[in-house]
Structure 1
Amino acid sequence: MVFTPSYWIQSAAEKKPAGIKLYSPEYYAACTIGGIAACGPTHALVTPLDLVKCKRQVDPKLYTGNVQAWRSIIASQGLGGIFTGFGATIIGYSAQGAGKYGFYELFKKQYSDLVGEEFASKYNTLVYLAASASAEVIADVLLCPWESLKVRTQTSNTAYSSVFDAWKKVTAVEGVAGLYKGLAPLWCRQVPYTMVKFASFEKTVQAIYSYLPKAKEDYSLLAQTGVSFLGGYIAGVFCAVVSHPADVMVSKINAEKQAGESMGAAVGRIYGKIGFSGLWNGLPTRIVMIGTLTGLQWLLYDSFKAAVGLPTTGSKK
């Protein structure tokens, strides 16, 4: 990796070719590691926001706002209380990031080759959507058990000393399958979210460069990663709105699904209780959280790629 200041302020065109060949196994391995670095720490960082969001989704009357919620939690549990779910979050979203970014790069290349260069260039949004959806289906299988433990830890009355204690207690009663009961709702939340996240990011970055006076490769890596953050934040706002109803339902199902109850019955019962408006509980908080998350993720991901000598994500001008 290269961390010297001059490396980051030179234009990409002035740099030596990357030691890692594009679309090689090493390239996809680097993208996978970049995904871990982008997703795990960022999701863990906003655990206090996520904690309040989940609690308010389950019980909208519990708190009047984020500050009041944090004060209440700290008063009863200490400062560490606002980081409830941190362990499950960093493990789960590191695994998800590996699958999300690594497989996205793989599927984007494979689908582009499958439809041909001309079609892939003309209809690149379709390629982004297909590649991101395929990647997320796999990534969610990796995330699901840890997401289940996170939500249970944050919203249930059961005391867990750690994420591994939660795993042991939950699987002792429900088996490992119990940690996957939220997989279908998770797909409903995450697949549209990721499709919007990747496609809108790619198109937003493309639009930003189209308004700039120079081609992408004529800008420094520092400037390019700045564009990545801005494009990621804008994409994150769209992501939050599109995926929020499913996010609420995931929280409700993990907290309230009854033993022996089918998924359809659980969704119908919960929806009957909260109604359409209830699906939007906590949206303002989630917009701030997801916008920040997505911006930081693309910043970290493209910074990692740049550090190992790979080009940042996004089409050239």
Structure 2
Amino acid sequence: MASINSSSGASAAVRPKILSTVFSHVRYEHLLAGISGGVASTLILHPLDLIKIRFAVNDGRVASRPQYHGMSSAMTTIFRTEGVRGLYRGVTPNVWGSGSAWGFYFMFYNTIKTWIQGGNSKVPLGPSLHMLAAAEAGVLTLVMTNPIWVVKTRLCLQYGAEGSHGLKSYTGMMDALKSIYKLEGIRGLYKGFVPGMFGVSHGAIQFMTYEEMKNAYNEHRKLPIDAKLTTTEYLVFAAFSKLVAAGTTYPYQVVRARLQDQHIVYKGSWDCIMQTWRCEGVKGFYKGLYPSLIRVIPANVITFVVYENVSHKLMDRRSGIEAETKSQSD
């Protein structure tokens, strides 16, 4: 009994040390750089995100839902019937969501990765550890941002005068958050969380591909794996990694969007999957893929290029301040 108590006490004592070691690798420069990249790409490309969501949920069973015959048709129809504001419905939670998600993701990912590397950024991790770090960062980020994505989806799916169809019309992000919590509780704010967990694989595949390509390229050039690349090189690696991840994990985004849609109610993720399969077949799981790829690839490129350049400048600034402080103390 004494040995059990002593071992449990020892393990309890170890936990704070582990947490302290992990937190020592937190660099808020990655948070700020990630927010910068997420906000920039969202403001530029939000209309394509809105169209992707509307295509994704369009299963033909809701009469009040607008019908579009392609991307150009959707763009012109929304602009004609709802104006410029219609193309930017849900932009506020999208900016909050994308900015915070990318900021937290990059911060969590780099903290976990640096902890695994033992503080040495020149140590290669390999595909499996890159995926592990990205998956853990994805879960932590999803827990913090899922309510914002629910609000964004619902605002994007307001078609003009929603009240005329007996549905709740939200006046903005805060009104949506309050209304969903009041009417549906915490569960309402975390709709789509389960398929979102499957979506963690999207980020894991993307970051693993991106990091491995950068590492291989720098090793080919006989440079350290954390060496800074040119904007064009970041652009190519970011585009290819997003294409690989989006192509392999898109169906979960359709299921997630449909679960968050206020126009139709599913019993859960499996019910949504079965209804989509029964009514639309395989094609139903890839609705909105084309506008999604047109949006996510340039969005990913903008996000990563902004992130890499901002983070390198901020980290160089930190290194300069630390070096100056050290020289003054000496």
Q: So what's the TM-score if we normalise by structure 1?
A: 0.79
Task: Work out whether residues 254 and 287 of structure 2, in 8 Å CA contact, stay in contact via their aligned partners in 1.
Answer: yes
Could you give the per-residue CA deviations for residues 213-263 of structure 1, whole angstroms, max 9, x where no partner exists?
x736998x6x5333222211111111211221001111111115527x344
- C-alpha distance in 1 between matches for 2:179 and 2:226: 55
Unaligned runs of 5+ in 1: 1-22, 312-317
- C-alpha distance in 1 between matches for 2:310 and 2:121: 27
Count of paired positions: 281
Deviation of 1:125 (Å): 1.4
1:233 matched to 2:242? The reply is no
Residue identity in the other structure for 1:99:
F
In structure 2, the residue matched to 1:93 is 98
The higher radius of gyration belongs to 2
Residue identity in the other structure for 2:265:
Q
Tell me, what secondary structure is at the counterpart of 2:188? helix
- C-alpha distance in 2 between matches for 1:228 and 1:36: 18
1:252 matched to 2:253? The reply is no
Deviation of 1:109 (Å): 1.9
- C-alpha distance in 2 between matches for 1:248 and 1:217: 36
The match for 2:150 among 148, 151, 156 is 148
Task: Work out whether residues 215 and 226 of structure 2, in 8 Å CA contact, stay in contact via their aligned partners in 1.
Answer: no
The match for 1:192 among 201, 208, 219 is 201
Task: Work out whether residues 200 and 235 of structure 1, in 8 Å CA contact, stay in contact via their aligned partners in 2.
Answer: yes
In structure 1, the residue matched to 2:116 is 111
Task: Work out whether residues 236 and 294 of structure 1, in 8 Å CA contact, stay in contact via their aligned partners in 2.
Answer: yes
Could you give the per-residue CA deviations for residues 128-179 of structure 1, whole angstroms, max 9, x where no partner exists?
1000000000101122111111111112444322111221222221123311
Distance 1:134 1:218, change over 3 A: closer
Tell me, what secondary structure is at the counterpart of 1:53? helix
Distance 1:174 1:274, change over 3 A: same
Distance 1:264 1:183, change over 3 A: same
- C-alpha distance in 2 between matches for 1:218 and 1:301: 14
Distance 1:72 1:293, change over 3 A: same
- C-alpha distance in 1 between matches for 2:104 and 2:111: 10
Tell me, what secondary structure is at the counterpart of 2:281? helix
- C-alpha distance in 1 between matches for 2:257 and 2:81: 23
1:73 matched to 2:46? The reply is no
Distance 1:24 1:180, change over 3 A: closer
1:215 matched to 2:223? The reply is yes
Unaligned runs of 5+ in 2: 1-21, 61-66, 163-167, 318-330
Task: Work out whether residues 84 and 153 of structure 1, in 8 Å CA contact, stay in contact via their aligned partners in 2.
Answer: yes
Deviation of 1:270 (Å): 3.5
Could you give the per-residue CA deviations for residues 49-86 of structure 1, whole angstroms, max 9, x where no partner exists?
01111111111672112221111111111111101110
Tell me, what secondary structure is at the counterpart of 2:287? coil
1:292 matched to 2:298? The reply is yes
Task: Work out whether residues 257 and 266 of structure 1, in 8 Å CA contact, stay in contact via their aligned partners in 2.
Answer: no
In structure 2, the residue matched to 1:136 is 138
The match for 1:183 among 183, 193, 196 is 193
Distance 1:85 1:177, change over 3 A: same
The match for 2:172 among 162, 172, 178 is 162
1:39 matched to 2:45? The reply is no
Q: So what's the TM-score if we normalise by structure 2?
A: 0.76
- Superposed CA RMSD in Å reads 2.9
Distance 1:225 1:217, change over 3 A: farther
Distance 1:67 1:205, change over 3 A: same
Task: Work out whether residues 255 and 269 of structure 2, in 8 Å CA contact, stay in contact via their aligned partners in 1.
Answer: no
Task: Work out whether residues 40 and 302 of structure 2, in 8 Å CA contact, stay in contact via their aligned partners in 1.
Answer: no
Distance 1:176 1:50, change over 3 A: same
Deviation of 1:196 (Å): 1.4
Distance 1:257 1:140, change over 3 A: farther
In structure 2, the residue matched to 1:56 is 55
Query: Percent same amino acid at aligned positions?
Result: 19
Hey, which bits of structure 1, 4+ residues long, moved more than 4 A?
Answer: 23-27, 216-219
Distance 1:169 1:309, change over 3 A: closer
Distance 1:98 1:309, change over 3 A: closer
- C-alpha distance in 2 between matches for 1:29 and 1:291: 26
In structure 2, the residue matched to 1:305 is 311
